[in-house]
Structure 1
Amino acid sequence: MTTLRKEAVHYIEAQHTGIPYYQVTPQEARAMRTATLWQSPHRPKLASIKDYNITVRDGAAITLRLYTPVLDKTLPVIVYYHGGGWVYGNLESVDAGCQLLADQAQAIVVSVDYRLAPEYPFPTPLYDAYDSLVWVSEHIKAFGGDVNRLTVAGDSAGGNLATVVAYLTTTLGGPALQAQALIYPVTNVDFTTESYQLFGENYGLDAQGMQWFSQHYTDEANFTNPLVSPLQLENVRNMPKTIIIAAEADVLYDEGLSYAEKLKAGGVAVEHVTMPGLIHSYFSKMNYFEDATNETVAKIVEFLK
């Protein structure tokens, strides 16, 4: 029996006041889900937060936001991909989490504003994610980053992009990674697991919502493509050490656990952490889940030591 934390209950209650996002257009859903500015006395003081435009493989420009905790010191680097079902989310939606991660990990965090579906369906978000990693590896030294201490991270669809990027860079001979940190990642576009049955309605991410996201991201024929559903990867032996942080009451719980088991079976060092009483998307809802976000950041920081 799952007992939700009070902040999760408050968040769920607040979502009952309007039309579900998956009953409107992606453009309308984005307007409904604009990020709320994090107002807290606990905000860390960073040396700098700056945006940079980079050019990706098709000639388009996307934005990276660099969070630097201190200057005049070589720092590890975390490339972060936001969640939002590949359909919404942006630099603002994970701004608070990235600030905390930069401060507590004493790392340069690079948040990636990859392009979104359905205007830019698979594989464009993935290509943006990978090209951003390559740009970071080639340029981060100039910002005080240590390319030999490079981690990818992300939440939900961003966790999906992070781990597929990790797979691509290991198979293509791209930038070497120290680790990957995945917060309730999408690892298998399949809506039939037990966690889908248990938490498919009114737990932060409805089953209908996940279907809506997936259909906007790519054609159903691609749902079993390993670059969409990394649980389908045949060989994960060369993946970096991995932490997977799961919300207990989440439709994605089972596939995240299965992915942890797959990595472990492939000889990858894996830590799977369940966050009790929490629901999907808590990491990007700072005004409800500040304590839980801090807990999550602390677990990632400890893992990366």
Structure 2
Amino acid sequence: MLDIQLRKLLEHGRESGVPDMADVPMPAAREIYTALLTATDLPVADVDIDDHRIDGPGGALPLRLYRPRGRSGRRGAALYLHGGGFCVGRPQDYDGLCSQLCLEADCIVVQVDYRLAPEHPFPAAIDDAWAALQWLSQHAESIGADTGRLIVAGDSAGANLAAVMALMARDRGGPALRQQTLVYPVVTAAPGQFDSYRTHGEGYTLTTRLMARFNDAYLGDAQVPADWRAAPLMADTHSGLPPALVQVAGFDPLHDEGLAYAEALADAGTPVSLVTYPGLAHGFISMGGAVTAARLAVSQVASAWREAFAAPPDPTPA
């Protein structure tokens, strides 16, 4: 059964005439995305929020930092990669979520304003995310973080990037990561190949049509690439990766591929916690201000981060 609070949100959206982002120009889709998250996300927590710029592969790369206020000592840090189909979204849209995670997990959260498609197709977002992770690893102490306690996290397209960051860090000898948090991840480059696209691809928060539009914009003129960075489920092996928290929603076209990725991790011996929110739909991690079950999901992420930061480092080489 669809969560009652979420059902009311969807009904309100239909009555208000909010269009499917698949049907409007990309600039308008970005405005709709921002408005939707602003209406449902958690309030911004009382933390310090600062903007930085670093050298990125495409020029200056903006970062947004969230730090606990008035607390001393070094703490763990999480690189959070926002969702939006690689085409919409910006760090400011996630201020509520990331500031609350910063407060509840007592950690530093870093967002990167990675380049968006179609202006910057694959692999621009990956290159920017990797540059941000490298910067965080190399400059952790300068922002009050502990180099030995790093996490990668994200939702939807951002979870794709987080999964790719974990694979790249393993293959390139670091940085060592304590954990990866993947919230309803995109892990294939072929929308529609799982049954959940047919059962939940219309009528909820994410449509199959919108996923196809985002996918086409992100991959550009390329066909489904043989590059696992576009589809981390295609990676040769999922062993030797940091423990994962995978959250999926019952009413989400991405439900089945999230399950498939969790299974791939588990089959390879990577510790994974898979949590299904059966009454929720895609985007729930940014609905904590309006849906109680979504707020619980945020707290679960914060709890998993606290546990990962408190654990002793893994002696196994990256």
Taking structure 1 as the reference length, the TM-score comes to: 0.93
Q: Report the aligned-residue RMSD.
A: 1.9
1:13 lines up with 2:15 in the alignment: no
Q: Compared with structure 1, are the counterparts of its residues 263 and 187 closer, same or farther at alpha carbon in structure 2 (3 Å cutoff)?
A: same
Tell me what 2:197 maps to.
Answer: 196
- Once the two structures are TM-superposed, the CA of residue 197 in structure 1 deviates from its matched residue by 1.1
Q: Quote how far apart the aligned CAs of 1:28 are.
A: 2.1
**For 1:173, what is the secondary structure of its paired residue?**
coil
Q: 1:260 to 1:217 in 2, by over 3 A?
A: same
Percent identity, aligned pairs only?
A: 35
Change (3 A) 1:203 1:15: same
User: Helix, strand or coil: the match of 1:93?
Assistant: helix
Q: Distance in 1 between matches of 2:40 and 2:21?
A: 25
Q: Distance in 1 between matches of 2:246 and 2:303?
A: 13
Q: How many residues align?
A: 300
Q: Which runs of 5 or more structure 2 residues have no equivalent in the other structure?
A: 308-318
Three-state SS of the structure 2 residue aligned to 1:258 is helix
Aligned partner letter, 1:221: Q
1:66 is matched with 65
Cα deviations across residues 76-120 of structure 1 (Å, max 9, x unaligned)?
001000000000000122111101110111110001111100001
Q: Which is further off, 11-20 or 210-219?
A: 11-20
Mean Cα deviation higher: 291-300 or 62-71: 291-300
Counterpart Cα distance in 2 of 1:238 and 1:119: 34
What TM-score does the superposition give when structure 2 sets the normalisation length? 0.89
Kindly state the Cα deviation for residue 153 of structure 1 after the two structures are TM-superposed.
0.3
Paired residues of 2:67 and 2:108 also in contact (CA < 8 A): yes
Change (3 A) 1:111 1:38: farther
- 1:283 aligns with 285
Match for residue 258 of structure 1 among 249, 253, 260: 260
The 2-side partners of 1:285 and 1:296 are apart by: 10
The one-letter code of the counterpart of 1:279 is: A
Match of 1:115 in 2: 115
* SS of equivalent residue, structure 1 residue 127: helix
Runs of 4 or more above 6 Å deviation: 38-42
1:232-269, CA deviations, whole angstroms, 9 ceiling, x for partnerless residues? 11111121100001111100010000100101111100
SS of equivalent residue, structure 2 residue 54: strand
Partner SS for 1:222: coil
| Structure 1 gaps, min length 5 | none
Structure-1 separation of matches of 2:288 and 2:42: 13
Q: Distance in 2 between matches of 1:293 and 1:68?
A: 23
Shift of 1:73: 1.4
